[in-house]
Amino acid sequence: MGNKVLTEEELHFLGIKVVYKDMVDNGFKILNVRKEPDVNPQILATKDDKRFFIVVRTATYPDMGILLPHIAADVLKHGAKHDATCYFASVGIANADGQTDEEMAKPEKDGEYYINYKGLQPFPSY
């Protein structure tokens, strides 16, 4: 312990990389990735001639990334214009070297991680 803790931007990008790899492994063709947290969706992809918009949110242990209702509404409206199916990817990242909950909640640069990711989820309805 004692290395530099990931910044919010680095944590967000790590979550995007987890989702990206899972999507490629599951046959998606990635068209674009935006790593900026304030740009939605983060991932544009196609599979079986269908278009997908993916919003990624990442949080540190013990939390998971959450999709805020106003962001969901904006992305759904944008998705409808482009005939895209919208999915949410919630990622939780823990410091694998942490011995306590407090240490696990501080993933470090170049560290080992536990990843909590259950795949792409349909947008929740509010």
Per-residue pLDDT tens listing for the chain (126 residues): 557 999 999 999 999 999 999 999 999 999 999 999 889 999 999 999 999 999 999 999 999 999 999 999 999 999 999 999 999 999 999 999 999 999 999 999 999 999 999 999 998 665
Instruction: Find how far residue 21's CA is from the centre of its chain.
Output: 11
Q: Which residues contact 14 (CB under 8 A, 6 or more apart)?
A: 6, 58, 91, 93, 107, 113
Domain boundaries, the chain: 8-122
Say which CATH class 8-122 falls into. alpha beta
Residue 2 has what pLDDT? 54
Q: How far apart are CA 15 and CA 12, in angstroms?
A: 5
User: Rounded to two decimals, what is the model's pTM?
Assistant: 0.93
pLDDT of residue 37: 83
Task: Assess whether the previous peptide bond of 124 is cis (omega < 30° from 0).
Answer: no
